Amino acid sequence: MSEQSRGADATAFVPGHVTGFFSPYPDDDPERAGSRGAGVTLSDGVRVTVQPADDAPRITLDGEDCPMAAVETVLSALDVADRARVIAEGDLPLGTGFGVSGAMALGTALAANRAFGCERSTNALVTLAHRAEVVAGTGLGDVVAQARGGVPIRLDPGAPAHGRLDAVPERARVEYLTLGDLSTAAVLAGDTDRLVTAGEAALSRLVDRPTLSTLLDESRRFADETGLVTDRLAEVLSAVDDAGGRASMAMLGETVFALGSGLSDAGYDATVCRTYDAGAHLADD
């Protein structure tokens, strides 16, 4: 791999991830910290290209400068922070509950490993990205879910050595509509007891009956019980209900996601994608 140690462009694709419900599990060890919960990974995601560069690290998202602590931490952990440029392009807005920050951390890990011949395993790269995201405070469970793909259930929190995943063996068309952003850090700094209680109950019911239908029902119940639904979200959710659809709120963003044609049936101009079968992967070979 001497050719790669000199550095060559590499690109990774990471699916978006919408969490439907969760309970946070902080820990002094960021590899053990994380969340339990469930969500859907999406065919809309982030393409992250890592390029060798001589100048200071520069991170762009859709052409705009976008400094991100988690991405910088990943580059440092791979010992390439002084010679990598990160160019991310995506379909999804940042800060609205699609796991874009997790996608950038994980995509950077996969692409930089390839570009610079770092010779780490997939679990090692997922662990780096999970640690970086937890330490940056931008997410707790997106990275491990995005590494798996499909409809991941996070049974136990943490990086691959500690966490445990299962999944709902279904796929679906997904629609989404973003109204605004919410701060993950602010919600996690608030009263998390309610999140833990509601999140644990939802997880237990999903494990008993692991279907997409249960996932949506439990996500909606979680959103209602935790009081995270804004007035604008409530209006959209109620319209989808009235049209006979199934929708809930992305944790954490002012975003509605629906199965099938739930949002368009209710008259909204929603973005359409699908659940994504694969976890994050290189995209350039």
By CB under 8 A, which span of 70-78, 93-101, 117-125, 261-269 interacts with a copy of itself? 117-125
> Using an 8 Å Cβ cutoff, are 177 and 270 in contact?
yes
Relative to beta strand 10-25, strand 34-52 is antiparallel
Length of the chain: 285
Give the x-and-dash track for 44-73 against a copy of itself (CB under 8 A).
------------------------------
Q: Which of 56, 67, 156, 169 binds a copy of itself (CB under 8 A)?
A: 169
DSSP 32: T
As measured in angstroms, the least distance from the Cβ of 278 to a copy of itself is 4
Backbone φ and ψ for 209, nearest 5 degrees, come out as: -145, 80
> Using an 8 Å Cβ cutoff, are 21 and 140 in contact?
no
DSSP string spanning 95-160? TSSS-HHHHHHHHHHHHHHHHTT----HHHHHHHHHHHHHHHTS-SSHHHHHHH-SSEEEEE-SST
Identity at 77, one-letter amino acid code: A
Q: Which of 110, 177, 237, 239 binds a copy of itself (CB under 8 A)?
A: 110
# chain residues binding a copy of itself, by CB under 8 A:
34
> Using an 8 Å Cβ cutoff, are 115 and 21 in contact?
no
Q: Residue 43, interface with a copy of itself (CB under 8 A)?
A: no
Cβ nearer to a copy of itself, comparing 7 with 160? 160
As measured in angstroms, the least distance from the Cβ of 64 to a copy of itself is 28
As measured in angstroms, the least distance from the Cβ of 167 to a copy of itself is 4
Q: Which residues bind a copy of itself (CB under 8 A)?
A: 1, 110, 113-114, 119-125, 149-150, 153, 160, 166-173, 207, 209-211, 213, 277-279, 281-282, 285
